Amino acid sequence: MEAVVEQQKDEFSPAIWRNRNFLYLWLAGLCSSFGLAIFLFSESWYVVEVMGLEASLGLVFIASSVPRVLFMVIGGAVADRFNKNVIMFLSDILRAGVAVALVFWLLFGTVTIWSFVLFALVFGILDAFFWPANGGLLPSIVEKKQLTRANSIIQITNQSSFILGPMLAGAVIALGSYVLAFSVTAGLLLIASIAILLIRMTKRKTKASSTENGSELWTSIKEGILYVKQSAFLVSLILFAVFINLFMVGPLQMGMPLFVKGVLDGNSLTFSYLEGTLAGGMLLGSILVGILNLQKRRGLLVICAMGINGLFFCLFSFTNELWQSLLLIAFLGTTFSVINIPVIAAIQSIVKEEMIGRVMSLLSMASMGLVPVSFALTSLFLSLGADITNIMVIGGALIVILSVIAFFKVPSLREFD
């Protein structure tokens, strides 16, 4: 009886927090995500408020997103060939250097929109190397049975930064200055880089690949693509990431301000309520997934959550009262986390350690690569006179249909634990 009680106690105790390596990784993620959130908010608000170049803000976003997509596969291959700690350290310390350079530029030079484009370009390239290494490092320091919980904690931290980071940045700018805001970013990234250096990895024997024998980087990338193609499960996940981002991201991100203005007859404050509630729903979903720490039928959970996600999106488009919209957008955010976290944990638990960086980079590229296409298609339909609510309904319905097809036609995903 005592053994059973002790086992239950261990299962529900915060054992993962006694893992020093995970604690350092979490601290690095906390500082890094808040630092980047402060940087992005300050950068955007400076362009809008100080420069008065609202129309040029898109150049900054493009400068960071395009290189992130283009270099992501290369970043995955590099992560599988070299020490992931070193890659993450260099990425954070270089981003801290960029923030410091911007501080000096603000103090002693003339900052233009092209200055921010340059900084965004560097940040995007460094992100492409940081995230595959980050995704590949976690399964090396956490037991497989704790991967779902570990990923949920990481997601909670990231999503909290999306909610609190802009608020903190706004307060720093209001009470201090933009120089102080970018200095805070540099300090947080410096702390993150130090925390990464404190992670101590044990050497593991892994099967040698052609990249370890001196083959070219392109061969390494092709190995990663071939590895994914040979797994019906991984191919299914990547295809789902492609379609969800194609059908959901554009209509949601572009459609929300249009929905607020045209349907809810709201203002910027109303828009902020919806954005905050969506992030709050994602945070709630991350907490639920972390508490449950499901180890069985995760594939079925993802399929069901994807279908419910599409249904909530459809229902959201029919709302015409703010409280209804807030309720549905909260549910929508919750299902996002229920989909994402088990998928990441599943990949980390089944993929070979020497391939994890490339697989994670391919998944990230599939997710982000179609976002500009989704924006373009949404813009095209809007220019042709389509109503945003109809675009949302179609996007949500297509996701529901995709989940039904996955349930009946993709047993490798449905039956995955």
Same-domain status, 319 and 262: yes
Q: Is residue 147 part of a domain?
A: yes
78 CB contacts (<8 Å, ≥6 apart)?
87, 129, 132, 133, 217, 357
CA-derived radius of gyration, the chain? 22
**Helix runs in 142-177, H state only:** 147-175
As given in the structure block, the two tokens for residue 137 are: 């490092």
Residue 7 lies in a domain: no
pLDDT digits (tens, 9 = 90+) for 288-345: 877 776 667 777 888 888 899 999 999 998 998 889 989 999 999 888 888 877 777 7
Mean per-residue pLDDT pooled into runs of 10, the chain (417 residues): 40 65 88 85 77 68 74 77 85 91 86 83 85 78 77 77 74 82 91 89 48 56 76 76 77 75 75 76 82 74 88 91 90 85 74 72 68 72 83 90 85 72
Residues 194 and 228 occupy one common structural domain: no
Q: Are residues 180 and 255 in the same domain?
A: no
Measured CA to CA, the distance from residue 324 to residue 331 in angstroms comes to 11
Specify if 143 maps to a domain: yes
Domain count across the chain: 2
Alpha-carbon distance of 175 to 225, in angstroms, equals 50
Whether residues 259 and 195 fall in one domain:
no
- Quick one: pLDDT at residue 312? 93
Whether 185 and 278 map to the same domain: the answer is no
pLDDT tens track for 196-223: 988 876 654 444 444 444 456 667 777 7
Predicted pLDDT at 47: 79
Look at residues 199, 214, 245 and tell me which one is the last residue of a structural domain.
199
For residues 33, 150, 303, 75, the Cα torsion angle rounded to the nearest 10 degrees is 50
Same domain for 231 and 167, yes or no, is: no
Those residues whose C-beta lies under 8 Å from the C-beta of residue 386, and which sit 6 or more positions away, are none
- Residue 235's domain is classified under what CATH number? 1.20.1250.20
Asked whether residue 259 falls in the same domain as residue 190, the answer is: no
The answer as to whether 3 is a domain residue is no
Q: Tell me, yes or no, whether 332 and 231 share the same domain.
A: yes
Chain-centre distance for alpha carbon 26: 15
pTM to 2 decimals?
0.67
Choose the final residue of a domain: 131, 164, 199: 199
Q: CA torsion, points 290, 291, 295, 301, in degrees to nearest 10?
A: -80
- Distance CA(85)–CA(90), nearest Å, equals 9
Domain match, 148 and 283 both: no
Supply the range of the domain harboring residue 184: 18-199
Q: Assign residue 208 a region: left if phi > 0, alpha if psi is -120 to 50, beta otherwise?
A: beta
